Structure 1
């Protein structure tokens, strides 16, 4: 299974929890520059995406015609939904610190990091594997980070140390309980501005 990170919807400092904004112009431009390298993934037998507008738009723009998977939705951030990390920190600094330190914490009233990782991992474990078929999934970077933590059986705290760039690809192969990871990278045609 190859994960493709959705194109940008906002510059990194303006990224919001459970951001439902569509692709901005810079995101559309990124998809066009990366299309040459990412279009071949449209030949995958199974094509999925997160339910966010930018994941769906990225998949559609690349010709994937992906099937939305609710299990690939972003972490439920409760009352912090729509806030940036900085805004949440300004409102509830102790709660944010607690949430960052404890993967079971839900001070925002939503889903814990551990539950999020388990949900995404559970979806990954139900995908067909080792049958030679290709699968592609366009997802938010947070969802891909959760899948990687799960696939590697890494401690939940490692989630914060994984950087997934827009339109980068990462492949996991194997089967439930035994996943292998391959970093494919960011398409070379893309230039960061």
Structure 2
């Protein structure tokens, strides 16, 4: 039995340097523009039997703009960043350098009072493993880039610090095939989707 899960990183809601932890902003003008450009490639993914999204405004807007009518999944929420929520990476690094360093080095650390990286990876991994296991089911999920990275770490059984080495640019896609505890990465087959 094999399920195919395609993850799409949500379009952007702010310029890269202005991104904030656990951001809850809607798509910005550049994000809407990027969705329109990517639509011809991404819209066909909406033929999936199940369509989900992170509950964030930008994930919902991305999925809706692509015509997916996605169901918001709380388990696909971005990492809970506790008191760092709404702050930029630069602000946290400058204001709390030791806590910031601890967070980057130790996946069990949660100096911000929210979720540790390990807990976040486990949460989104549980969501992945509990998807319907009917053979051939196709699932598409629009999620925050952090969620896409966490799902990949979980599915590929790599060390948690691998999370920091994965780039999930806005509107990028990745497909996993398999089922609970046995996922494999599927590379894009170009126009033969």
Question: What range is the shorter-chain TM-score in?
Answer: over 0.9
TM-score using structure 2 length: 0.94
- Structure showing greater relative contact order (alpha-carbon pairs closer than 8 Å, 6 or more residues apart): 2
Change (3 A) 1:76 1:64: same
In the alignment, the residues of structure 2 paired with residue 69 and residue 31 of structure 1 have an alpha-carbon distance, to the nearest angstrom, of 21
Q: Tell me the secondary structure at the aligned position of residue 43 of structure 2.
A: helix
In the alignment, the residues of structure 2 paired with residue 98 and residue 71 of structure 1 have an alpha-carbon distance, to the nearest angstrom, of 25
Structure 1: 4+ residue segments shifted above 4 A: none
In the alignment, the residues of structure 2 paired with residue 162 and residue 183 of structure 1 have an alpha-carbon distance, to the nearest angstrom, of 15
In the alignment, the residues of structure 2 paired with residue 185 and residue 104 of structure 1 have an alpha-carbon distance, to the nearest angstrom, of 37
Is 2:58 the partner of 1:54?
yes
Alignment-derived partner of residue 36 in structure 2: 32
1:131 Cα deviation from its structure 2 partner: 1.2
Higher mean Cα deviation, 59-68 or 130-139?
Answer: 130-139
1:4-57 Cα distance to aligned partner (Å, 9 max, x none):
110011111111110001000000000000000001011110000000000000
| Count of residues in Structure 1 that have an aligned counterpart in Structure 2 | 187
Alignment-derived partner of residue 109 in structure 1: 113
Is 2:190 the partner of 1:182?
no
Alignment-derived partner of residue 9 in structure 2: 5
1:185 Cα deviation from its structure 2 partner: 9.7
TM-score using structure 1 length: 0.94
In the alignment, the residues of structure 2 paired with residue 12 and residue 159 of structure 1 have an alpha-carbon distance, to the nearest angstrom, of 18
Change (3 A) 1:53 1:186: farther
Q: Tell me the secondary structure at the aligned position of residue 184 of structure 1.
A: coil
* Conserved 8 A contact 1:20-1:52: yes
In the alignment, the residues of structure 2 paired with residue 97 and residue 42 of structure 1 have an alpha-carbon distance, to the nearest angstrom, of 40
Runs of 5+ unmatched residues, structure 2? none
- RMSD over aligned Cα atoms: 1.5
Runs of 5+ unmatched residues, structure 1? 188-193
